[in-house]
Amino acid sequence: MPAVLFDFSGTLFRVESTESWLRAVLDAAGVVLDPPELAATARALEEAGALPGGAPPVRVPDELAGVWQSRDRSAELHRAAFTGMSRRVLLPDPALHEALYERHMTPAAWSPYPDAPEVLRTLHERGVKVGVVSNIGWDLRPVFREHGLDGYVDAYVLSYEHGVQKPDPRLFETACGRLGADPREVVMVGDDRRADGGAAALGCAVHFVDHLPVAQRPDALRAVLDLVGGPA
């Protein structure tokens, strides 16, 4: 029986926009910025790559290069990397940098792609084992639970829990082992050709989707149902 591994961010779920992320934190803190300043600050945060799961940084400063390269290997490195990027942008209160990081870990910050529930449910109904393999620095299981998708996932293999990040084949090997699946019968689905493509070293098939806003990618995951056989 085949199995499917999915990446999280940009594959099954998409994080909110940088402006929505910033606005939610400012509202919670009772801080008001006029619309032009809000928009400008959001653009600066986006250029800095401060939102995990959002746009990559335009430039990684030398003092953050090391932690950025290994950011997904531990919770501490992940927080240091992204709050370090955030602090490149002036905010009304320095405490907001930590608040922004906390916000991105909440289920409210994430939306599943429109076809994700259908695809996960169909795979589950067919008896196909499903794993989530993510480069991440925090526990994403509550996101799946909040959106009613946790029951369709058989294993989570998260980089920070193993000290290993994609494309290292060991992370995919761990996932295949958790599912009791032969890697040659596994499809890895992701949006990052380098990171997710690491599964090919084990003999897994790899299928890529585009990391687009939710409204722009309504049905890209449905191709997975054809890849593992059975009625779509």
- Are 123 and 222 part of one and the same domain? yes
Range of the domain at 116: 3-14+110-227
Co-location of 86 and 30 in the same domain = yes
For the chain, the straight-line distance linking the first and the last C-alpha, in angstroms and rounded, comes to: 17
CA distances from 71 to 49, 59, 87, 164 (A): 13, 16, 16, 10
pLDDT in tens, 48-93: 999 999 999 999 999 999 999 999 999 999 999 999 999 999 999 9
What pLDDT is stored for residue 195 in this prediction? 97
Q: Residues 75, 41: one domain?
A: yes
Q: Is the pLDDT of residue 120 over 70?
A: yes
Q: Tell me: pLDDT of 230 over 60.
A: no
Tell me how many domains the chain contains: 2
Long-range contacts of 146-151 (CB under 8 A, 24+ apart): 146/107, 147/13, 147/107, 147/110, 147/112, 147/117, 148/117, 149/12, 149/112, 149/116, 149/117, 149/120, 151/124
Sign of CA dihedral 159, 165, 170, 173: positive
Domain boundary among 45, 73, 108: 108
- d(Cα 178, Cα 128) in Å, to the nearest integer? 13
Phi then psi dihedrals of residue 3, to 5 deg? -135, 160
* pTM assigned to the model: 0.95
The pLDDT value given to residue 232: 41
Note whether residue 232 is domain-resident: no
Residues 130 and 223 in one domain: yes
Co-location of 135 and 221 in the same domain: yes
Beta-bridged to residue 9, according to DSSP, are 13
Same domain, 217 and 169: yes
If asked whether residues 103 and 118 sit together in one domain, one would say no
Q: Degrees (nearest 5) of the Cα angle 30, 78, 161?
A: 120
Name which of 145, 154, 139 is nearest 186 in CA terms.
154
**For residue 144, pLDDT beyond 90:** yes
Does 11 score more than 70 pLDDT? yes
Q: What is the CA radius of gyration of the chain?
A: 18
Q: Report the amino acid identity of residue 185.
A: E
Q: Are residues 173 and 93 in the same domain?
A: no
User: Residue 220: which CATH number?
Assistant: 3.40.50.1000
Residues 46 and 82 in one domain: yes
